[in-house]
Structure 1
Amino acid sequence: MRCYFNNATISAILSTPTALTSFGLKSRYIPHRGDAIRAEAQILQHVLAGLAKWQPQVKTLNLGIQYNGIISSDLFQNTFDFAQLTSLKELVISNRTGGEMIIDGSFHYLSWCPINVFDRLPSGLECLQLRPNRGPVELNKLADLICQRCICLPEALRLECYTIEPHLRPLKEVDQAIDQSHIFGIEKFMTQCSLPRLIYVQAQHSMGGEESSLLSKTTDVRRNADGSAGFAMSTSYETFQWSAKRHLLFGNLGRLV
């Protein structure tokens, strides 16, 4: 369904179903001149409040964000109260625009740090999926900000990151630096935030011929064995030939349970 969202539209949509268990919203265009980012933030606030009022039993929420700033900028800290959705078990966050430009020595790359998503999560949330449009998830910075803001994560939370980013072996110098950064970030996340489980999936599609193109995938899995005292680690790397339509890679990368 495509429509112009305002308070009346949100109320009409969310008050109609009798037992909604899942809801998805993808922002395509925010027609507010000069303050589109704040307009999208207000829409998201109204949606969360509407779900809490009319659909408190919702278990799965999928949000496609147009403007990265609303979930990464300090201006919107503590803006989005997901905790009011007390029955929520799975939250999926994706973005349509690029992340923040990271400058690491001579390396410049886009990275995503959606810290504002973590401010107010439901205590019973079991799975948080992060799906950036471009670049890695900046787990190193996320872990630091969670500690700085004194955020208490849900006890049973599983964090899953699904990214499209260069990682074909052998890695180029810039890709190796990015790879080392996110591995360090994963370990920091597990030790500082005591997360029960973290999954980080990288996928890359080669720009080969139309008939056959190379697809690679790296999966890092971390499990806390005993709180923050130690964690189990496993990494897998795959390359294989993909003969189906090339755009399939950019669909759902699947879930790891």
Structure 2
Amino acid sequence: MTETSETSGAYLRTEAAPGHRLRWNKVPEVTAFFWIIKVLCTTVGETAADLLNEKLNMGLTGVSLLMSALLVVVLVVQFRTKAYKAGVYWLAVALISVVGTLISDNLTDNLGVPLETSTAVFAVALAVVFFVWYRRERTLSIHSIDTTSREAYYWLAVLFTFALGTAAGDLVAEKMALGYWVSAVLFGLAIAAVAVAHFALGLNAVLSFWIAYILTRPLGASVGDYLSQPTGDGGLGFGTVVTSVLFLAVILGLVVYLSVTRRDVTDADRLTPREG
């Protein structure tokens, strides 16, 4: 799903609030590369969270604090950049995928919060972020992430999409007991349905994008679990190490490619040399 200026109110740079410094769009164009890397990052978020929890012997809380600290550092770098940079952006997405997974896991495993409750809470939190974001900025389009406030709303929304996707995906897997690959097919079909609703039935581009963005989280998690979990549990038995390294290598290759070719840079930004 891609957003267009006609359907989503995109490119509202001239409407930035007084006192906000205009800048180039800070996120990539929504292309096939965007969705591929997004799913790969969600898969890494699932497997890496499990791997770190197993190997570092820090406990779920310790790993959560460590990864949150790393995420803060990367987001500081992301906010300080003056334009979209593929390496920084996708590193932030990968880390936020891990942190979002850990937040949901902490609520479930450490605090005993039912998945129904955490799913509802994250859904409400995400809705509040969208409400405030739109109320203040008059757009939810990712083509308009060109001020500090819009970027802050964007990353907060991304965090809650990962947490919501984790909780909702675990809830579906637990209640329906479909197995990893069947769950992956189910979520893949749900994303396909959103695409059909957008392209064939005219579903709003911004709404389509964010629904698909949420659904890619349980899709990637199902793929990661299917590859990494033991064969006795319905997986292929590759393990979290092999799965994480494999997907990280693919992500790295794609990000390097995009950094060189700039194929995911928005047209408006591509026409003008970047600062910094």
After TM superposition, the score normalised by the length of structure 1 is 0.27
Structure with the bigger RCO (C-alpha within 8 Å, sep 6+) is: 2
After TM superposition, the score normalised by the length of structure 2 is 0.26
Higher helix share: 2
